[in-house]
A and B are shown apart, each in its own frame.
Chain A
Amino acid sequence: QKEVEQDPGPLSVPEGAIVSLNCTYSNSAFQYFMWYRQYSRKGPELLMYTYSSGNKEDGRFTAQVDKSSKYISLFIRDSQPSDSATYLCAMSPPGKLTFGTGTRLQVTL
């Protein structure tokens, strides 16, 4: 069993839709939870960063962490074509990051 599981997609949604991206994990030691966005032929860029359980909002993006269920989510409101990318969840105890496989998202006009 992988430490971090993420549905690879692809996920295709119309512009303006609400997108939900999810990851599950098995390692109880994980305390930091992150979402990265990776455009084609680019390196990952940090979108959201949360510590422990709870919600965090930043513009159209909301990150949720439920440590009791070992489940994290990223919600994108009013999705735009520019949101088309691969979204990677990542998590760690202090130190090394463990990434999910990434979900490819396509937002269509």
Chain B
Amino acid sequence: EAGVAQSPRYKIIEKRQSVAFWCNPISGHATLYWYQQILGQGPKLLIQFQNNGVVDDSQLPKDRFSAERLKGVDSTLKIQPAKLEDSAVYLCASSLGSGSPGEQYFGPGTRLTVT
């Protein structure tokens, strides 16, 4: 079974530029999550999708971050404009449903550096 795929793996941009990350979840997984992991911290949930609807985006900085999950499969996360404090690893995870929180499978992440 293929895991969660993410691209790119690494990205370096200057502040005020825009950037987009892509995630392909495990086939058949209805729930998709985007997390932000700052160095030395645990992952923080940014947004959760159930199929192509948003379940929780309470911690998403909506003035600069946006995410979509078209057709309930792939998802993109965008930052525009980027700030220095956005430097982090952005992790995508997926699960069959949302009722078993432990059954989340994570991708390798995209490491973003904002200079």
Contacts and interface: CB of A to CB of B under 8 A. Distances in A.
Given A96-B48, A99-B43, A101-B40, A46 B108 contact: no
B109 A43 contact: yes
Nearest to A33: B102
A88 B41 CA distance: 9
Interface of A: 4, 6, 8, 32, 34, 41-46, 49, 88, 90, 92, 94-97, 99-102
26 contacts: A4-B42, A6-B42, A8-B40, A32-B101, A32-B102, A34-B102, A41-B108, A41-B109, A41-B111, A42-B108, A42-B109, A43-B4, A43-B106, A43-B107, A44-B43, A88-B42, A88-B43, A90-B42, A90-B102, A95-B56, A95-B101, A96-B48, A96-B101, A99-B44, A100-B42, A101-B41
The winner among B45, B102, B108, B111 for most chain A CB atoms within 10 A is B102
B91 interface: yes
Contacts of A44: 43, 91, 106
Contact of A95 (B40, B42, B98, B106): B98
Contacts of B111: 41
A88 B40 CA distance: 11
Nearest to A102: B42
Contact of A99 (B42, B56, B99): B42
B51 interface: no
Contacts of B106: 43-45
Which 9 pairs from chain A and chain B are nearest by CB?
A: A99-B42, A43-B106, A49-B102, A92-B101, A34-B102, A44-B106, A43-B108, A99-B43, A101-B42
Nearest to B107: A43
Nearest to A99: B42
A94 B45 contact: no
B82 interface: no
Given A42-B108, A46-B103, A94-B98, 9 more contacts: A32-B101, A34-B102, A41-B109, A43-B93, A43-B109, A92-B101, A94-B101, A95-B98, A97-B101
